[in-house]
Amino acid sequence: MNQIKIFSPATVANVSCGFDCLGFAVNDLGDTMTFRKTSSKEVKIIDIKGANLPYDVDKNVASAVTLKMLEKYPVDFGIEISIEKGYSPGSGLGSSAASAAGAAVAVNELLDKPFTPLELTKFAMYGEKVACGSEIADNVAAAIYGGFILVQQYEPLSIVKIPVPKELMLVAIHPQVKVRTKDARDVLPENIPLTDAVTQWANVGGLISGLYSANYDIIANSLKDIIVEPARKHLIPHFDKVKNAAIEAGALSAGISGSGPTIFALCKGEENAKNVFRAIEESYKDKNIDFTMVYSKINTQGVKILEKK
């Protein structure tokens, strides 16, 4: 094989209660990337469409991950990379993670698959470090494994894949405001009361149990974040208005996607998701802030191979 084209999904990290340890992949939003073997032995970015991202191979997440993999697994060819961003960086929908995870999976294919999904996750985490300074796994693991994932442990890394109830749908709104992950992490409390910790970890357990049993009532009741959301929501204009509109329209719940500014809602079934989409749109349309919206099933497959040559 000389060339591979992949689709790498957007991801929603944290999923309200699971700060830095839960995430899921989005079916209908993501990046398309092509990786081609060359005789030059160099790694090169040859094209970036849809976003203003660096061509410098050490700064671009996709090439940085590729270089890291080739350090571990040297080969006698180079790799050229073309990137088509399907959504904007800085949205809170795991844009750097999509590039990092896509690169890890695609390069592994070009190398004849020497690495396991867990190893690919670690390479992709290096991409997160290049992008934002922290080796966070929640977005990249969701993009690689698909569906819902739990980062059960960082040292050594342990990822648990969690089933996705069939009718679960995502609606998300991306208000066009800037929230840097670093800034969104700087506002977090350093210590939390034990009673809050108990509430939060009970909700993580509840959410996972609800996902396993496809019990939408438990899912709805567990999608609560009493620690991170209160500290971050002021960074997202009209957050409460959107969240309330989504819940009033029948969403299971709504919260901040990753570090924001995207607000996500989970819904049961298409009809419900359509109503929630309209309610969120309505709640934002007179706010003088541009926004984009997405409505999608949950991606259960992770990075998809579109073409091999």
Binding residues for ligand HSE, rule: CB under 6 A, are 13-14, 19-20, 136, 138-139, 181, 184-185, 258-259
Instruction: Closer to ligand HSE by CB, 188 or 305: give it.
Output: 188
What is the closest distance, in whole angstroms, from the C-beta atom of residue 22 to ligand HSE in the complex? 9
Instruction: Closer to ligand HSE by CB, 15 or 105: give it.
Output: 15
Is residue 284 packed enough to be buried (19+ CB in 10 Å), middle (13-18) or exposed (0-12)?
Answer: buried
Q: Which of 269, 239, 271, 232 is nearest to 254 (CA)?
A: 239
What is the closest distance, in whole angstroms, from the C-beta atom of residue 181 to ligand HSE in the complex? 5
Catalytic residue among 32, 34, 80, 128: 128
Instruction: Closer to ligand HSE by CB, 26 or 279: give it.
Output: 26
Instruction: Closer to ligand HSE by CB, 79 or 102: give it.
Output: 102
What is the closest distance, in whole angstroms, from the C-beta atom of residue 143 to ligand HSE in the complex? 12
Estimate the crossing angle of helix 61-72 against helix 95-110, to 10 degrees.
40
Q: Which of 254, 256, 247 is nearest to 279 (CA)?
A: 247
- What are the start-end ranges of the H helices in the chain? 61-72, 95-110, 117-132, 138-145, 181-186, 194-213, 216-222, 228-232, 239-248, 270-284
Instruction: Closer to ligand HSE by CB, 164 or 227: give it.
Output: 227
Provide the residue count of the chain. Answer: 309
**Residue 34 designated active-site:** no
**Residue 248 designated active-site:** no
Between CA 49 and CA 265 the distance in angstroms is 29
Return all residues near 63 (Cβ < 8 A) that are at least 6 apart: 43, 44, 45, 57, 81, 103
What is the closest distance, in whole angstroms, from the C-beta atom of residue 167 to ligand HSE in the complex? 26
What is the closest distance, in whole angstroms, from the C-beta atom of residue 134 to ligand HSE in the complex? 7
3-class DSSP state for residue 98?
Answer: helix
Catalytic residue among 11, 66, 181, 262: 181
What amino acid positions are annotated as catalytic residues? 128, 181
